[in-house]
Structure 1
Amino acid sequence: MSQRNERTDGHRTGGQSRARAQPQAQRPPGAGMSGAYDVVIVGGGAAGLSAALVLARARRTVAVVDGGAPRNAPAEHLHGFVSRDGMPPADLLAAGVAEITNYGAELIDDVIVDADGSPDDYALRLRRGGSLRARRVLIATGLRDELPDLPGVRGRWGRDVLHCPYCHGYEVRDQPIGVLGGREAGAVARAVHLALLLPQWSQDVIFFPHTMTLSEHDRVRLDARGVRVLEGEVARFVVDDALRGVELTDGRAVRRTAMFVAPTFRANDALLVTLGCTFDDNGWVVTDPTGRTSAAGVWAAGNVADPAAQVISAAGAGSTAAIAINGDLVLADATARVG
């Protein structure tokens, strides 16, 4: 599963825990002489931790604020991350926390609920009280998956109810696989795309249109890929200790050991809205290639800006943003000295 983001995500998964600094009401312990951090990173998934590592190694004062709700917590392993393939998501995050704190970055177990200000003088209010000051802000809060409202879906999410074949396709290779359609326009396109992809991993793929109407064009393409289409509304996913299949509203039961669904992606972008960032017509924050938003001094990285980002690409986006942020601070300081 992609990083949820984000976040893509010790956090509380799998009994993992990680040491977290508590916020100070006055001057934060790791902040510079002004009492402000160089950078406050909101979100401690792959993007946020990667950015913190780069910035801490650049000898910046950095705080990462994270409330411990990773998007990929249900997944047992992450995949497609070279040198980390098969690692439990919580282990990746725990390793990241150990690395950033070794370089002096701080992890604060809290949630930012409000933010305002301008470059060199941002104030970020914490849910538990107090606030942090920052010269620059990186938002890496990921996204959330809105799942189909069907019995059996949520309980098996990230196990055998899936959404990303690049994350989980190999693990369910050669199994009987199903793909669930739906009504929402974006989800319809993603569901058909999933069904077209999945014959790479299994020759037994059934597409369940469910509540959507398939176009003739889509039917032809699915047939060309060897995907069967089974009409009828799905009533529930049949689950005991694992997914066993789906049951339609007319009583038909179809054996499947993996189901792919196309959730609706909702960015955790409340702070980006509060800070006045520009959004595109699809509702996603607009950034330049480094993650810089339209709000001066504010960057975004990971799934909050890119719903398609995998864990590895979210980490890369965090690194890119961190390098840009450090460069921005260097130029600001040089300009201030020149006058």
Structure 2
Amino acid sequence: MPAPDPSNDPDAAYDVVVVGGGPAGLQAALTLGRMHRRTLLLDSGEYRNAPAEHMHNFVTRDGTPPAEFRAAARVELAGYATVTVREAAATAVVPDGAGFRVEVGAAPYAGSAGGPPALTARALVLATGMRDTLPAVPGLEPLFGTVAAVCPYCHGHELSGKHVAVLGNGPHVARVAFLLERIASRRTVLADGADLEPGVRAQLDAAGVAVRPEPVKELRRSATGATVSFAEGPDEEVGGIFVAAEFAQRAPFAERLGLRMLASGAVEVDAMGRTSVPGVFAAGDMAHTAALPMPMASVLTAAASGLVAAAAADGDLLARDHPA
């Protein structure tokens, strides 16, 4: 039987507090539970892939709705007596002696007014994820996660044989269009009123990728995917749209703890998920190693990094308890 939830005790002490209930945090909690570490998982209920109807490119889970994945993980965690899952957000994470004090509240990453209960942890695994900011194109947000997406590896195959648009005007548009060359029947770059770099335009022309330079007036859901209307010229009917979103840390803890960051906006970690602050580990798309060009934003890699960070946290505690 699982142990009773002790998280209402203001003096509750945990080996590890995992902050974030997405795939990285869930896997971290599972790994720690299997090592019988007293673990608290704090889940704010905010998830980067919440708009997506299905997650893909995860062996045995291809096509699974994200909520179904999280629910199955919760069932598995319930079988581990040392793991407590709490549907609440951390509101503050502060170094405290050899460990950390974690304040907990109801609102995601809100202030701590009202004196929420403080928990203590010997180590932290941060798995709070990133927040996407979409281009300010009318109609894009309601399509995001279904007709519109950011990753061809995650959502490209479902558009097989369709006309696919790439929205944007940076150097990335050519790479995305090329990733789709074996998938889409047609590819069109929506430059949205900006001039593409001459080299990028030459690459697209050579590959037979159409370019619509006009400003995009509106995106509307249609029977085949979406209708793209422009400030001038005919509409385009597309089956799907890929877009580059800007992303930033979803939670403020990396900044507040003074963790070293990379130019991508992600927390710098080593191969084991260690951050620049001893006792703090990070996993999922909020973190990556400098050897990689960007965070690998997929459910499978997030879960894998959660396992690694949890194993590193367990090893760190082991070394503290049994110094050489």
State if a TM-score over 0.5 links the two structures. yes
State which of 25, 29, 41 in structure 2 corresponds to 1:64. 41
* Mapped contact 1:207–1:229 kept (Cα < 8 A): yes
Is 1:255–2:201 an aligned residue pair? no
Aligned pair in 2 of structure 1 residues 152, 281: CA closer, same or farther (>3 Å)? Answer: closer
2:219 match: secondary structure: strand
1:259 match: secondary structure: strand
1:193 match: secondary structure: helix
State which of 309, 312, 323 in structure 2 corresponds to 1:321. 309
Cα shift readout 1:108-167 (whole Å, capped 9, x = no counterpart): 111111111157420011124212210000100011110121221111111111111111
Aligned pair in 2 of structure 1 residues 204, 241: CA closer, same or farther (>3 Å)? Answer: closer
Q: Which residue of 1 aligns with 2:267?
A: 285
Is 1:24–2:12 an aligned residue pair? no
Q: Identity percentage over the alignment?
A: 36
Query: Which amino acid in 2 is paired with 1:318?
Result: G
2:322 match: secondary structure: helix
State which of 307, 318, 321 in structure 2 corresponds to 1:330. 318
| CA shift for structure 1 position 231 | 1.4
Q: Which residue of 1 aligns with 2:24?
A: 47
Aligned pair in 2 of structure 1 residues 251, 221: CA closer, same or farther (>3 Å)? Answer: closer
Cα shift readout 1:222-250 (whole Å, capped 9, x = no counterpart): 22332111211111102256733201112
Gap runs ≥5 in structure 2: 107-115, 289-294
* Mapped contact 1:41–1:63 kept (Cα < 8 A): yes
Task: Give runs of ≥4 in structure 1 deviating > 6 Å.
Answer: none
User: Given the two structures, how large is their TM-score scaled by the length of structure 1?
Assistant: 0.85
CA distance, structure 2, for counterparts of residue 22 and residue 91 of structure 1: 27
Q: Which structure has the highest helix share of the two?
A: 1
State which of 136, 154, 170 in structure 1 corresponds to 2:157. 170
CA distance, structure 1, for counterparts of residue 180 and residue 6 of structure 2: 45
Cα shift readout 1:176-233 (whole Å, capped 9, x = no counterpart): 1111115xxxxx2333321221112113000111143211211222223321112111
CA distance, structure 1, for counterparts of residue 193 and residue 84 of structure 2: 48
CA distance, structure 2, for counterparts of residue 62 and residue 85 of structure 1: 29
Aligned pair in 2 of structure 1 residues 328, 293: CA closer, same or farther (>3 Å)? Answer: same
CA distance, structure 1, for counterparts of residue 97 and residue 308 of structure 2: 19
CA distance, structure 2, for counterparts of residue 122 and residue 153 of structure 1: 41
2:64 match: secondary structure: coil
CA distance, structure 1, for counterparts of residue 160 and residue 145 of structure 2: 16
* Mapped contact 1:37–1:61 kept (Cα < 8 A): yes
Query: Which amino acid in 1 is paired with 2:190?
Result: F
Aligned pair in 2 of structure 1 residues 55, 119: CA closer, same or farther (>3 Å)? Answer: farther
Gap runs ≥5 in structure 1: 1-19, 29-35, 183-187
Is 1:138–2:120 an aligned residue pair? no
Is 1:106–2:68 an aligned residue pair? no
Larger RCO (CA within 8 A; separation ≥ 6): 1
Cα shift readout 1:20-41 (whole Å, capped 9, x = no counterpart): 968414233xxxxxxx100000
CA distance, structure 1, for counterparts of residue 33 and residue 98 of structure 2: 18
Is 1:193–2:175 an aligned residue pair? yes
CA distance, structure 2, for counterparts of residue 264 and residue 311 of structure 1: 19
RMSD, aligned α-carbons: 1.9
Moved more, 242-251 or 170-179: 242-251
2:77 match: secondary structure: helix
* Mapped contact 1:175–1:202 kept (Cα < 8 A): yes
CA distance, structure 2, for counterparts of residue 50 and residue 331 of structure 1: 22
Query: Which amino acid in 2 is paired with 1:314?
Result: A
Q: Which residue of 2 aligns with 1:275?
A: 257
CA distance, structure 2, for counterparts of residue 285 and residue 274 of structure 1: 12
Aligned pair in 2 of structure 1 residues 282, 309: CA closer, same or farther (>3 Å)? Answer: closer
